[in-house]
Amino acid sequence: MLGVGSKNGAGGTAARTLMAREFPHRLLLAAAGCSVALLLAALWSLNRETRLSRELGEQLHRQSEVVAELDHLNSQLSMVAWHVVWKGGTAAVESYNRWENHAAECLAEVARSWPWLHRQIPPRRLTLLEKQALELARQNNVDAAQRLLTGEDYQSHLEAYHRVWRHLRQSLADEHQRLWQRRLEQTNQTCLMLAAGMAVLTVFWALVFRDLRQFVSLAAKREAALRESEELNRTLLASLPQRVFYKDRQLIFRGVNAAFAADLGKTPEEVVGRNDFDFFPRDLAEKYRADDMRVLRERKPVTLEERNLAQGRERIVEVVKAPVIDAEGEVIGLVGLFTDITARKQAEARLQEYTRRLAQNNRELQEFAYVASHDLQEPLRKVRAFGDRLQAKCGDALTPECRDYLARMQNAAERMQLLIEALLAYSRITTKAKPFEKVSLSEIAREVLGDLEIRIEQTNARITVGELPEIKADAMQMRQLLQNLLGNALKFHRPGVPPEIQVSAVVFPAAEGAAHGVSASLLAEYPPETLLCQLQVQDNGIGFDDKYAERIFGVFQRLHGRGDYEGAGVGLAICRKIAERHGGEITARGQPGQGAIFRVTLPVEHAVVIEG
């Protein structure tokens, strides 16, 4: 989504793909399938019920026709018999035979089609009497034939036959009613099943429409969010000082932000559709193309520092190029972001030059301090030596004023010697430094107490040393550190009050450093899990005002006159330099007349040796 054509970017495609996946197509297909199945079932059921009803109607109609025809044939047989008997004629006899054959054919059809109905049709007993009457009539015995047809036997059979046929017609009507009722019940069952299916399908479609409404609502919200996101991206890209571009697999620009286009003196629309050869010198364009092809081939992002030439101005830029991979895992192009780092590189070059000069100046100062201190000692030794000789040979001959001058000269030479020795000790922190190794602070503390044994006895001091850990450090400098701190505690004691000194240590992770008073600047140099050792020396001496807590660590800084306490004022400066060389710090707190506390915080381990 860069400059032109952002709506066709990977973000829009991914959003539309996600929306397509959430479309309830399965539920919709299932509902449509069920609807088609139910419609087909309804059509099949309707066709089946219609066919069965039609067949039943035809069957019942045919049954009624056959029964009516049989009844009619029986009546015709009786009428033919009467006609022959009363009126005579052989043609009527033949007609009787035809009607009888027709009746036999109807009975045969009933027997074939409806056996149950055939079983209910009684045999026609009248036929025997009628044939006897016809035979008598044929013999011209008409009176006997008439008596036979009008006789009680014939009439009783005729009435019985009519009763049976009335019952048969009623039974047939009842059977027809029963069959129609059964057909109606089956049709009702089919309708109920279809109605139940329609109810289920209605619920199914209700769910489909609910999901469709939700999908349409969600799609609308996502489309709005997508438009808002694209607009925000365009705004952000337009606001970025970095230059951003997107190329396809043919390395044609498909999108750029305004900053990129402005460098070329173009608008984003004028850049899209063109390549590097249209804007840069051929050698630069070929290099850019080679870098792009490597990104597409290796499918990995790269970070490069390149020379960039735009509108006649050469710059140094930091370029990050990354492949653009679609959902199918295919590389479809690359996106790049580059930042003008010309000013930063120039600043880095100046900083490197300043660092080089500073290191050179420090070396020169250290060499000067070391050489100067050694060179100063030679004439100073002569001054002190000749002063001692003058005191020894001519001391008695000197006037009181001359002896005072000589004493002042010797005191000044002694102070000068102390200053030179202190300056040498301060310079040795870096010039005579040794590699770090694991040392026992407890062992070093015992050695320092042995060195200070005489001063401890002279001051009646009581020194308590707790359990001290092992750390990686320069053993000689750790010894010098402890000796300076304990020496100060012995020196600056209150008159008439024996010094009480406690030496202790605690180890804690850097994450807890703030609770132990470690400065934020030191904690920023170490990961939270780094172990720190805090060595503490506390005394009950003369103390100091906290406003001088920083000043006392300066070189040649003193809070008291030389007549009150001896020393050159370099001891605590040496302690700070040792702490800093070990990647740590030293702090102090005090109260006048109540003593002081010095805390030295050092890392337990060192990844690299920190030189001064």
| 334 neighbors 321 (Cβ within 8 angstroms) | yes
Residue 430: the pLDDT is 62
Range among 221-230, 332-341, 394-403 with highest mean pLDDT value:
332-341
| 149 neighbors 191 (Cβ within 8 angstroms) | no
| 3 state DSSP class of 567 | coil
Task: Report how far residue 383's alpha carbon sits from residue 366's, in angstroms, rounded to the nearest whole number.
Answer: 26
Give the gyration radius of the chain's Cα atoms.
63
- Encoded tokens for 135: 């035979």
Q: Does residue 253 have a pLDDT over 50?
A: yes
Q: Are strands 253-256 and 500-509 parallel, antiparallel or unpaired?
A: unpaired
Task: Report how far residue 471's alpha carbon sits from residue 438's, in angstroms, rounded to the nearest whole number.
Answer: 5
Task: Report how far residue 50's alpha carbon sits from residue 505's, in angstroms, rounded to the nearest whole number.
Answer: 106
Q: Bridge-partner residues for 531, per DSSP?
A: 509
Residue 515 is classified by DSSP as: G
Interval 10-57: pLDDT, tens:
444 444 444 444 666 676 777 677 777 767 776 776 667 677 666 666
Among left, alpha and beta (phi > 0; psi -120 to 50; other), residue 468 is beta
| 5 neighbors 253 (Cβ within 8 angstroms) | no
Which one is predicted more confidently, 327 or 381?
327
Q: Does residue 5 have a pLDDT over 50?
A: no
The pair phi, psi for residue 556, each rounded to 5°, is 65, 25
The kind and range of the H/E element at 314 are strand 313-325
Task: Report how far residue 1's alpha carbon sits from residue 256's, in angstroms, rounded to the nearest whole number.
Answer: 9
Residue 6: the pLDDT is 41
Task: Report how far residue 439's alpha carbon sits from residue 470's, in angstroms, rounded to the nearest whole number.
Answer: 5
- Encoded tokens for 267: 């608008």
- Encoded tokens for 272: 């899209």
DSSP code per residue over 513-525: GGGGT--HHHHTT
Interval 50-88: pLDDT, tens:
776 666 666 666 666 666 666 665 665 566 555 555 565
Residue 600: the pLDDT is 95
Among 95-99, 394-398, 511-515, 563-567, the minimum mean pLDDT is found in 563-567
- Encoded tokens for 407: 């004493």
Residue 312 is classified by DSSP as: T
Residue 559 is classified by DSSP as: S
Q: Are strands 500-509 and 462-465 parallel, antiparallel or unpaired?
A: parallel
- Residue written as token pair 């200070």: 452
User: What confidence category does residue 533 fall into, taking pLDDT thresholds of 50, 70 and 90?
Assistant: very high
Which amino acid, 574? I
- Residue written as token pair 């900053």: 259
